[in-house]
Structure formats: C-alpha cells, structure tokens
Homo-oligomer: A and B are copies of this chain.
Amino acid sequence: MKYIQSLQNPQVKQWKKLLTKKERDRSGTFLVEGYHLVEEALKHGEEVLEIIASEKVGVPPRLDVGSIPVTLVTEEISNSLSDTEAPQGIYAVCRQITREDVLQDAKSFLLIDAAQDPGNLGTMIRTADAAGIDAVIVGPGSVDIFNSKVLRSAQGSHFHLPIVRGDLHECIGKLKERMIPVYGTALEGASLYTDLSVGDSFALIVGNEGNGVDKDLLAHTTANLYIPIYGKSESLNVAVATGILLYYLKK
C-alpha cells in the first residue's frame, strides 16, 4: 500500500485538480468522497481506478476494494481533497463512463436543461434513479454532473444509471425518430400533466430554476406539461416538480 506524506507530491496535486471541471474533462475521471459514495462506487461502478484513505481512518473492512490500488495519506492531504465541513477521510477516483448507446437503447429519459444549482441537479438525478428512469441526459447549460455537490446530493445514483452530457436538441430529434414522446415542462401553453395518458417509453425535459426550459426546446417537443399551483406560491422547486412528473409518468 502506497503512503504519501507531502502535500507537494505530484499525485496529490493531480487528485486536487479533480476538484475542477477542466481536469475532470481532460482526464475523463472524477473524485467521490465519503463512505457512502465510495461504497456505491465499489458496489455498482465498474470503473473505480483507485482509493485514497486518510491514515487516521484507513480503509474500513466493510469496503470491498478487491485489487483496486489504495493509497494512505496524511490527515492534512486528506482534508485538502475535501470540500465538506466534516471530511470522512475516504475517496475514490472513478472513470467517467460515456455511453454513446443510451439514445439507442434506453426507453425512459430525464433531460435536464440548464440546472444551475448543484443540489437541485443531484436531487433530480437521485429522483430519476428512484423513479426507475433508464438514463439522464444533461444539457450544456447545466452545472457539471461530476461536481462534488452534485455527486453528494445524488447519493450514489451516478453509479446506478447512465448520467451523460448531451445536446438536448439532438436528443429530441433522435428520440422522436425512435417514436418516443418527448414532454417539456412549461407554465404557459401547456397541458395539465394529469390529462396525459402515458406509455412505457417517454422523455421528460425539466429546466432552469429561474427561466424554465428553453423555448427553442419546448417548440420541438411532443407536448408540454404543467403542474397546477393551487396556492399562492409562484412555482415549485425544479427537483420537486421533477419528482411529481416522473412518478406520474411511471405510474
């Protein structure tokens, strides 16, 4: 087992770079933190490249690391890799899985247009997982899908179903070729969601917290849906709206 003590070690510098989207994109990898996420990565992800553990905590016996290389580091190095207030001292470097075939094979989709808040994006991914959706496709205007807060809010769902980046215009075109209905969400010119009769295959597009789904996308959907507001609030949180719609569509 390797042991690193210096913050200046090139390997440590490389891990720290994974806190940036630029380096995650360049390397095609990402860093997950904490027992739960590392456990989920080991359980479901085929692509764990290495484990990093603080010497203070080590690798707990419940984690089945198999032949994956483990590096022990000092508490100081461990904390430098964390963006939480109470670091748990355990990390995994994972390979980003790109699945080009998602648009050909999957039957139910969540398409996310320009979600800005990492907590919301992670919660939407977790909700799609719970609802049994086959794949999540995230448009270019959204926060990075491998951002550490997104990973934390998604609670391991990144390892449960394909979460990929994609151009949503292209997605709509390809889904329609496959005769899969694509539903947008909108406040105006839309149909009451409960009036819809749904089949097994569908794609739902949910949008930006402030502005909703891009009008250019809404113009190309099969239909657009709205959730009624019965009280005085102006709107629903986008992750809550996603939950209401996905559970209605999956029913």
Shortest Cβ distance from A194 into chain B, in angstroms?
A: 7
Interface bracket on A = 35 or more
Task: Tell me, in angstroms, the Cα distance from A237 to B237 when the chains sit together.
Answer: 12
| Contact residue among B129, B155, B156, B243 (Cβ-Cβ distance under 8 Å from A243) | B243
CB of A3 closer than 8 Å to a CB of B: no
Chain B CB within 10 Å — which of A130, A161, A239, A242 has the most? A130
* B156, B231, B234: the one within 8 Å of A132 (CB): B231
- B residues in contact with A133, CB < 8 Å: 231
Report 11 cross-chain contacts, Cβ distance below 8 Å, ordered by A residue.
Answer: A126-B236, A126-B237, A130-B231, A130-B233, A131-B231, A132-B230, A153-B237, A155-B233, A157-B232, A237-B239, A244-B247
Contacts of A127 in B (CB 8 A): 236-237, 240
A230 to B244, CA, bound (A): 15
Which 7 A-B pairs give the minimum distances between C-beta atoms? A132-B230, A240-B243, A160-B232, A129-B233, A129-B231, A130-B233, A132-B231
